[in-house]
Amino acid sequence: MQTIQQRFKVEYNYAVFFTENLFDTKNPLLQDFFNEYTEQGFQRKALVIVDEGFAQYHSDLSNQIHSYFAASVSHIQLAPEIINVPGGEACKNDPALFDSLVEAVDTYGIDRHSFIIAIGGGAVLDLVGYAAAVSHRGIKLIRIPTTVLSQNDSGVGVKNSINFRGKKNFLGTFAPPVAVFNDLTFLRTLDDRDWRGGVSEAIKVALIKDTSFFDWIETNTTAIVNRDEKAMAYLIHRCAEMHTDHIAGGDPFEFGSSRPLDFGHWAAHKLEFLTGFQVRHGEAVAIGIALDCVYANKIGQLADEDLSRILDVLGRLGFDLFHPKLSENDKINLRNGLNEFREHLGGRLTIMLLEKIGKGIEVHELDADIIAQSVDYLEGTKIIHAL
């Protein structure tokens, strides 16, 4: 019998929109998007799931959504219940939350021609995206990120996940959304900690890809800290643009072990767990970036001047660059994060380290003693700001 060799390609297209006051009936953006889905024979529905932390600051959100659909997109049947779920990484650790979302999909008859709309921070987008991806083998997902971190990074990507067996993102899918809507006005209710947190991902992508973007961040740290919306809008747009360009031009479903956008993340993921997620993702990434930059400097790869600039920018933005959990158990707990990261990559350990600002190179091993020395260096800098 002859072998049948199967081969095909699937094309993905989605837009990342930038707007303000998305659910104002005077804003036609969402209406225009749904008007592309008017085929006869389909009763399309929409289930809205909201980060309850965000909802607490936007008490009229539910009424606004119902009013918008009634006035502007009446051909899409909105599920009567707008579901609130807890925000933050804890929502990805609770299997009961995932089960409840799948149950809602079943209860309200949300099928493959319908939409799930996720409104919230990155963790909620991850959870809802995973539920959407596995229900009916894939329901159309619309992401509406509400934090700096999710608007400039996780919300515009193709990954969805929940945590399992004590490991971050152990269960997940690669399933792109059908659209992302970034509303700048949603950021106004963020506390300073979450306003700052997402900037670490912009620093990350600037350090490995774009010297001029890092220069801009360095010049505009005061504006960013002072919550200048024009500066933040530029930062989010440029960071999102660089992330989407990388996804389109590289390995979007991560078949290989090269993941340059995970610069600074091997230590960050472990630190989040070691602190019980008291250190949030963006804060952990800032520490992870600092650690890997010190390591690169210690092996003679990154110049002293570049290291000084990087640590200075992180410090001026208000990031802690050390946490005691890094040193706990003679740093064995942290180093275990390398093995977990290797496992998560599914093969050869590949870590991005800086050669200079704007250019990273990949290495396939890290020296445990130099990791320990790098941790001690960060502890000694005393660049610590209250979280």
Domains by residue range for the chain, with CATH: 15-189 (3.40.50.1970), 192-381 (1.20.1090.10)
Report the half-sphere exposure of 216 (CA within 13 A, side-chain side): 17
What is the rounded distance in angstroms from the CA atom of residue 167 to the CA atom of residue 137? Answer: 24
84 Ramachandran zone, left/alpha/beta (phi>0; psi -120 to 50): beta
DSSP state at residue 3: P
pTM score: 0.90
Partner residues linked to 360 by β-bridges? 354
Q: Tokens representing 352?
A: 């991005």
Q: Tokens representing 282?
A: 């963006």
- Residue-wise pLDDT tens for the chain (387 aa)? 899 999 988 888 999 999 999 999 999 999 999 999 887 777 899 999 999 999 999 999 999 999 999 999 989 999 999 999 999 888 999 999 999 999 999 999 999 999 999 999 999 999 999 999 999 999 999 999 999 999 998 899 899 999 988 777 889 999 999 999 999 999 999 999 999 999 999 999 999 999 999 999 999 999 999 999 999 999 999 999 998 988 887 767 665 545 777 899 999 989 988 998 899 999 999 999 999 999 999 999 999 999 999 999 999 999 999 999 999 888 888 888 887 777 766 667 888 999 999 999 999 889 989 999 999 999 998 644 433
What is the rounded distance in angstroms from the CA atom of residue 124 to the CA atom of residue 140? Answer: 16
Predicted pLDDT of residue 204: 95
CA distances from 6 to 3, 9, 137, 226 (A): 10, 11, 21, 55
Predicted pLDDT of residue 259: 74
pLDDT digits (tens, 9 = 90+) for 280-336: 999 999 999 999 999 999 999 999 999 999 999 999 999 999 999 999 888 888 888
DSSP code string of 296-323:
HHHTT-S-HHHHHHHHHHHHHTT-----
Express the helix, strand and coil content of the chain in percent, nearest 5 each: 50, 15, 30
What is the rounded distance in angstroms from the CA atom of residue 252 to the CA atom of residue 180? Answer: 17
Helices (H), the chain: 29-34, 52-57, 61-72, 95-107, 122-134, 148-152, 192-197, 199-209, 211-219, 221-225, 229-249, 265-274, 281-298, 304-316, 332-345, 368-381
DSSP code string of 328-339:
GGGGHHHHHHHH
